Structure 1
Amino acid sequence: MPRSQRATPADLSPSWPNSPSTEPEGEVARLLALRLEATIPYRSVRKVADIAGVDEGTIRNIVSGSRWPDLRTIVRLEEALGVALWPGRLDEGGRQ
């Protein structure tokens, strides 16, 4: 049986990344993308990708909401950037 295509993080937000997601997992991805995007202006995406050992396209896809970030990528980016990207646990309303 073929696997159904799952929605991307951007699919779960009416106006990615400026409006909250309709699902908790989408909201975590949105907040993570915003944190990642906020750190990039101080460095080039290529430089961050090189330091973190991840593909430049992966970073761009996370920020654009077209790809779900995996745990390995999140950890590598956090270590390379020296910042926490994971937003932590959300409350029942989907807020930090």
Structure 2
Amino acid sequence: MSTERTPRTARYIESGQWPDATLTPDAPAHVARVQAMCRRLRDRIDDTGESARSVAHRAGIAPSTVTRVLQGQTWCDVATLAALEDALGVDVWLPHGSTD
């Protein structure tokens, strides 16, 4: 039995890899918003020049949580998102209706 978890987003990916994948036509709108948030989070972490692990530690979050969010294995909860935004000093979530 495999211990590898299927990413939560896998059923909505038509091609490519999360978070840059092309979504299936039937993907709910919120999946595109979560995808955009993951791209923004990844890009903001890259902008710092730090590793995701380092940003996670500054945010008081387990590095594995950040990795799982960025890989689409789990959704980011509000408290985690707020802690990451505080650590990065930027907003990552998008206004309603935005996908980038």
TM-score normalised to structure 1 length: 0.78
| Maintained 8 Å contact 1:13/1:26 | no
In structure 2, relative to structure 1, the CA distance for the partners of 1:79 and 1:10 (3 Å cut) is farther
Residue type of the partner of 2:66? I
Aligned length: 87
| Maintained 8 Å contact 1:28/1:87 | yes
In structure 2, relative to structure 1, the CA distance for the partners of 1:10 and 1:36 (3 Å cut) is farther
What are the equivalent positions in structure 2 for 1:5-84 lying under 5 Å apart? 8-14=8-14, 15=16, 16-18=18-20, 19-20=22-23, 22-41=27-46, 42-84=49-91
How many angstroms apart in 2 are the aligned matches of 1:10 and 1:71?
22
Q: What RMSD over aligned residues (CA atoms) do the two structures have, in Å?
A: 2.0
* 1:12 Cα deviation from its structure 2 partner: 2.1
* 1:13 Cα deviation from its structure 2 partner: 2.9
Q: Report percent identity of matched pairs.
A: 28
| Structure with more strand by fraction | 2
Deviations along 1:17-68, whole A, 9 cap, x unmatched? Answer: 2224621121111001000110222211121011101110111111111111
SS at 1:73's partner residue? helix
